[in-house]
């Protein structure tokens, strides 16, 4: 992310309003990115990180692990940072070539197809609850073992049990408690993680962007 003085000023305000917290420095960077992207301080109490989620995600980025997203909006939002750092391949479930299925949404069928193709990928579900359900079912069946799952879709119907299954799995995850969430949140998490990984590994390897 390219920073302007107004961005720094906004982040300083966020730091003041959040105040004391229990996040690690890396986790806090993700939290403040989400708050900045949404102007919603409630996310500081809703975001959940599994143990080693950020370390696993950073290592996967450095290894140029394929990223699979559920919606074009997420793909477009993260493209610039990805292309200008680790250049991981990014595929969107809505654009995957699949056989039509009446009982599944395009996002669900697409992410299932791509998950089988890239079983150890980074998966970002920011919009489609059906895509997250399909992904969690594949994880539970031990058909895939993602490097990281970022799951932030908004949900009013039966989404919490799906998130609970994800949290009970051994897969690293970053997710949001409750109904809130959207593609903007997912993109903010990815961009924050990319910047953290680039600071830690990328510039040392390449001498800068």
The answer for residues whose C-beta is within 8 angstroms of residue 208's C-beta and 6 or more apart is: none
How far is Cα 125 from Cα 131, in angstroms, rounded to an integer? Answer: 7
The pLDDT assigned to 206 comes to 47
Instruction: Please give the structure tokens belonging to residue 18.
Output: 């959040």
Instruction: Establish if 16 belongs to a structural domain.
Output: no
Record the pTM.
0.91
Instruction: Please give the structure tokens belonging to residue 176.
Output: 């949001």
The pLDDT tens digits of the residues spanning 16-42 come to: 999 899 999 999 999 999 999 999 999
Instruction: Establish if 164 belongs to a structural domain.
Output: yes
Instruction: Establish if 7 belongs to a structural domain.
Output: no
Q: Are 69 and 52 in contact (CB under 8 A)?
A: no
The pLDDT assigned to 208 comes to 44
Number of separate domains in the chain: 1
* Helix (H) / strand (E) containing 100: none
The answer for residues whose C-beta is within 8 angstroms of residue 58's C-beta and 6 or more apart is: 193, 196, 197, 200, 201
The pLDDT assigned to 136 comes to 97
- Let me know if 8 is exposed, middle or buried by CB neighbors in 10 A (0-12, 13-18, 19+): exposed
Instruction: Please give the structure tokens belonging to residue 197.
Output: 């990984």
Instruction: Establish if 41 belongs to a structural domain.
Output: no
Give the CATH number of the domain where residue 139 resides.
3.40.50.10230
**Tokens 């609850």 belong to residue:** 129
Residue ranges making up the domain that contains 160: 47-202
Instruction: Please give the structure tokens belonging to residue 86.
Output: 């680790």
Instruction: Establish if 32 belongs to a structural domain.
Output: no
The pLDDT assigned to 97 comes to 67
Instruction: Establish if 39 belongs to a structural domain.
Output: no
Instruction: Establish if 67 belongs to a structural domain.
Output: yes
CA–chain centroid gap for 6, Å, is: 25
DSSP H stretches of helix in 39-158: 53-62, 72-83, 106-117, 129-140
Q: Which pLDDT tens digits describe the chain residue by residue (209 residues)?
A: 556 678 778 888 898 999 899 999 999 999 999 999 999 999 999 999 999 999 999 999 999 999 999 999 999 999 999 999 999 999 999 888 666 666 788 899 999 999 999 999 999 999 999 999 999 999 999 999 999 999 999 987 789 999 999 999 999 999 999 999 999 999 999 999 999 999 998 655 444 44
Instruction: Establish if 24 belongs to a structural domain.
Output: no
The pLDDT assigned to 157 comes to 79
């Amino acid at each position: 992310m390219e920073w302007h003085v107004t961005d720094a000023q906004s982040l300083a305000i966020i730091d003041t309003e959040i105040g004391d917290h229990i996040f690690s420095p890396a986790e806090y960077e993700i939290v403040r990115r989400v708050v900045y992207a949404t102007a919603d301080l409630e996310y500081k109490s809703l975001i959940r990180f599994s143990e080693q989620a950020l370390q696993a995600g950073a290592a996967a980025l450095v290894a140029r692990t394929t990223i699979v997203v559920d919606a074009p909006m997420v793909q477009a939002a993260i493209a610039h940072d990805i292309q200008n750092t680790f250049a991981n391949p990014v595929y969107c479930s809505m654009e995957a070539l699949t056989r039509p299925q009446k009982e599944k949404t395009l996002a669900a069928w697409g992410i299932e197809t791509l998950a089988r193709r890239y079983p150890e990928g980074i998966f970002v579900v920011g919009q489609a609850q059906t895509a997250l359900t399909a992904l969690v079912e594949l994880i539970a069946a031990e058909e895939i073992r993602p490097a990281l799952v970022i799951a932030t879709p908004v949900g009013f119907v039966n989404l919490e049990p799906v998130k609970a299954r994800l949290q009970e799995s051994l897969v690293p995850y970053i997710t949001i408690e409750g109904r809130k969430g959207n593609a903007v949140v997912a993109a903010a998490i990815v961009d924050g993680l990319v910047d953290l990984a680039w600071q830690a590994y990328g510039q040392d390897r390449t001498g800068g962007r």
